[in-house]
Amino acid sequence: MSVDIYKINPEFRDIMPKDIIDLEDNATWHATATKNRGISDLPDKKEILEEHSLCAGCPEAAALRYILTALPIPEDTIIVNSTGCTSLMFPHIALHTVHSLFGNQNAVASGIKRTLDWRFPDKTKDVIVLAGDGATIDIGLDYTLQSWFRQEKITTICFDNEVYANTGGQESGSTPKGQVFKMAPKGKVFDKVPMWELAVTSGCQYSVKLTASAPKKVAKVLREAVLVARELGPTYIHLYTPCILEIGLAANEGLWEMKEQDKERFESFRYVSPEAEEYLKECKAKGIL
């Protein structure tokens, strides 16, 4: 059983560090949890994300914590990443993950999902893609859309900070029009790419745009997206996680920025296909949502 890979042989408990012992004793694995996992576990349960190397106060780090704490079955969840700031957190996620290249995340995830379905026909294995706006919308656009056309049963999450942050603040397709960034010294000349809409026209069963300002909302959306992907087909979450460094905010101003954008560029967008709507009702009835 997957959760067994976190069980420490008693002979070695005395030499293992606390964070590994806690993963066995105090993490909320699906197999051992008494209730649905969620944000309420954050204060007193062992988190799946260990210490990370992002900037102090980076909303990405917070958003990843919300997502990991809401996974329906973390011990059977694979997360595929791509190059960018998020890559710096991935080694510290206590799950099986892949980085691979810049932009090929949905292609790698497609291969993984197809193989897991082939190798474990009687088991549920969730596959999630988590990448930045550059990876999802620019360099990886073809692979993102094609995986949706093919109806791959994976959840794609875009951490949109509207800039290439890891490489030093260059304009991305997701940067708002007019914004001055490196490689757009006169300001960006075209509009922010409406990825959440492309998701709908490209076959996603579920597409939601939001900011990471409300943890419980992020957790709910993540859970819905994963359940729908598992059952029906591709789902998409477009999440605003501002780069406080590149837009000149202090470490404690990220939340404020996200709340601001809840009313503007990231005013909530939600598409749920009729089939998904039906299925989510069932999930509620079953109490898994």
Partner 1 sequence: MTKRSDMTAEKNWSGQKIVSPDYLLFEAPREKHFMTGSEVVKEAMKRCTVDASVSYPITPQSEAAHLIGELWAEGYIGTYFRGENEFGVMSEVAGCAMAGSRTVTTTSGPGTLRAMENFPMWSGTRIPCQLILMARGINSPLTIQPDNLEVSFLLETGCMIWYAENVQELFDMTIAAFIVAEKPDVHIPIITAVDGFFVSHTRESVMLPADDIALPPYDPYAAPLPPIDSEMPPGRFLRDPFVMKSNYISYATHASWQWEVRSAADRSRKYAKHFLKGLVHTTGDDVADVVFVACGTASHQAKEAHRELAKLGVTCKVVKLRTIRPFPTEELIEATKGAKYIFVPEFNVTGWLYNEVVKALYGRSESEVIGKPRVAGGMSMPVEEILKEVANFVKID
Partner 2 sequence: MANLGPADYSPYPVATYDGLYTPDEGKAMLLTEMVDEEVAMREVARVMLTSENATIFPGPQVLYAWSEEAKKKATLIKEMSEVLGAKMIPMYDYRPKYPKIDAEVEINPNHPNLTIWHNNIKACIFIGVHCHYANVALKIIRSETDCYTIGMCALSGHEDAMATIRDQHSEDLAKFIEIAKEVKQELGK
- Helices 105-119, 141-149: axis angle to 10 degrees equals 40
Nearer to partner 1, 68 or 195 (CB): 68
183 interacts with partner 1 by CB under 8 A: no
Nearer to partner 1, 68 or 212 (CB): 68
Q: How many Å apart are CA 169 and CA 38, to the nearest integer? A: 33
9 binds, among partner 2, partner 1, none (CB under 5 to 8 A by kind): partner 2
75 binds, among partner 2, partner 1, none (CB under 5 to 8 A by kind): partner 1
252 interacts with partner 2 by CB under 8 A: no
11 binds, among partner 1, partner 2, none (CB under 5 to 8 A by kind): partner 2
Nearer to partner 1, 106 or 207 (CB): 106
Per-residue burial over 181-193, b = 16 or more CB atoms within 10 Å of its CB, e = otherwise: beebeeebeeebb
Long-range contacts, stretch 191-194, CB < 8 angstroms, 24+ apart: 192/162, 192/265, 193/137
Q: What is the DSSP string of 45-83?
A: SB-SB----SPTT-HHHHHHHHHHHH-S-GGGEEEE--S
16 interacts with partner 2 by CB under 8 A: yes
How far the first Cα of the chain sits from its last, in Å, is: 23
Among 30, 36, 42, 50, binds partner 1 (CB under 8 A): 50
143 interacts with partner 1 by CB under 8 A: yes
202 interacts with partner 1 by CB under 8 A: no
Q: How many Å apart are CA 41 and CA 123, to the nearest integer? A: 26
Nearer to partner 1, 31 or 183 (CB): 31
12 interacts with partner 2 by CB under 8 A: yes
Among 13, 31, 56, 115, binds partner 1 (CB under 8 A): 115
167 binds, among partner 2, partner 1, none (CB under 5 to 8 A by kind): none
List the beta bridge partners of residue 288: none
Q: DSSP class of residue 193?
A: P
